[in-house]
Every structure is written in C-alpha cells, then in structure tokens.
Amino acid sequence: MEFQRRTAQLLHEDHQATVAIFETLEDMIVSAKRSTPDTTEASIRTALEQAIAAIDEEVSSHFAFEENELFTRLEDLGDTGIGEHLREEHQAILPISQQVAKLARRALEDGFSEVSWLEFRSQTGELIERMFAHIQKEEMALLPMLDDILDPETDMQLSENYTSNH
C-alpha cells in the first residue's frame, strides 16, 4: 500500500516493521517444532530482543497514538464503529504482548525450559495471529480513511507528533 497522507504512511511503515519482527518469531517457532530453542544462539537472541523492543517501544505508543489522535477524530466525524472495534482489539493484544515480552526477557536471562517454551509458543502464537489480523483491518479500513479525512495541515501536525514520540 502507498498512502497519500504522511500519517497513514508512517503507520503503514510501522506495520511493515512489526510484521517483519513477528514473522521472525513465527519462523523461530516453526523451525523449533517440538524441541526447545537454544537462547545462546545469536539468531534466537536477536529475534527475542527485537520482539521485546517492538512491544515495549512500538506497540504501546502506536496504539496510544491511534486511540488518542485518530479514533477520536473519526468519532468527532460520527464514525464510532471502527474506533470501538480497533480499541477492543488493542485491549486484547496489549496484555498478551506484555506477557510475551516478559517471557522473552526471562528466556534471554535463563533460557527456555520445556514448560516456559510451551507457554511462550502458545502466547506468541496467539499474539501473532491477533496482530496480523489487526494490521490487516487497519491497512484495509483505517489507513485509507485517513487519506480521506485528514487535511494537509492536520496531517503534518499529526505526523510530527507521531515521529517525535518514536
């Protein structure tokens, strides 16, 4: 996708980065199959570190920006449905992502045990699925709407706010 408004384009680029990181996690889970990954391996450490950084620094601020700056604008225009739906998805995604970050941090320190790996795999699987479906909806519905509703000035202001908080 390519968007006319910079705000939409920035959110889209965030989505791309998030998908790439979560796909690396997915690769890790798929290639591990039933065995427990060795967290001393560089590729495993990188995948876990990137996931933690994305969750800590990107996901929360991305969600907060959407909720505070975008959904409110849509609601002011009388379009309450999309904001309500995406907020509910944020509420479902945030606790799982924080749990995944916590498990990843623990794994980086102590490695995975059989039990902790199973828990990590299960939580990460759900997070990946929820995140991809959520991004798909935002790419399909929210970002094209921003192209429609934002005037150039508001777009400039919003995109500056967004980049300054990243």
Footprint of other proteins (CB under 8 A): 1-2, 15-16, 19-20, 23, 26, 74, 78-82, 84-85, 88-89, 91-92, 126, 129-130, 132-133, 135-137, 139-141, 144, 148
Nearer to other proteins, 56 or 126 (CB): 126
Least separation in angstroms between residue 93's CB and other proteins is 9
DSSP letters for the chain: ---SSHHHHHHHHHHHHHHHHHHHHHHHHHHHTTSPP-TTSHHHHHHHHHHHHIIIIIIHHHHHHIIIIIIHHHHHTT--HHHHHHHHHHHHHHHHHHHHHHHHHHHHHH---HHHHHHHHHHHHHHHHHHHHHHHHIIIIIHHHHHHH--HHHHHHHHHHHHHT-
Q: Which residue has the tokens 């384009």?
A: 9
Nearer to other proteins, 38 or 148 (CB): 148
Least separation in angstroms between residue 139's CB and other proteins is 6
Least separation in angstroms between residue 24's CB and other proteins is 10
Nearer to other proteins, 16 or 113 (CB): 16
Nearer to other proteins, 64 or 133 (CB): 133
Least separation in angstroms between residue 29's CB and other proteins is 12
Least separation in angstroms between residue 71's CB and other proteins is 11
Give the C-alpha separation, 48 to 28, whole Å.
10
Nearer to other proteins, 1 or 53 (CB): 1
